[in-house]
Amino acid sequence: MRVVVDYNLCDGNGLCAAVAPDLFEVDEDDQLHVLDERPGAALWDLAEDAAQACPKMAISIEEQR
What is the pLDDT, as a whole number, of residue 45? 96
What is the pLDDT, as a whole number, of residue 65? 65
Give residue limits of the domains in the chain: 2-62
What is the pLDDT, as a whole number, of residue 11? 94
Give residue 46's Cα distance to chain centre. Answer: 9
Q: Is the pTM of this model over 0.85?
A: yes
For the chain, report the end-to-end CA distance as a whole number of angstroms: 9
Q: How do residues 11-60 score in pLDDT, each as one tens digit?
A: 999 999 999 999 999 999 999 999 999 999 999 999 999 999 999 999 99
**2-62 is a CATH 3.20.20.70 domain:** no
DSSP 28: T
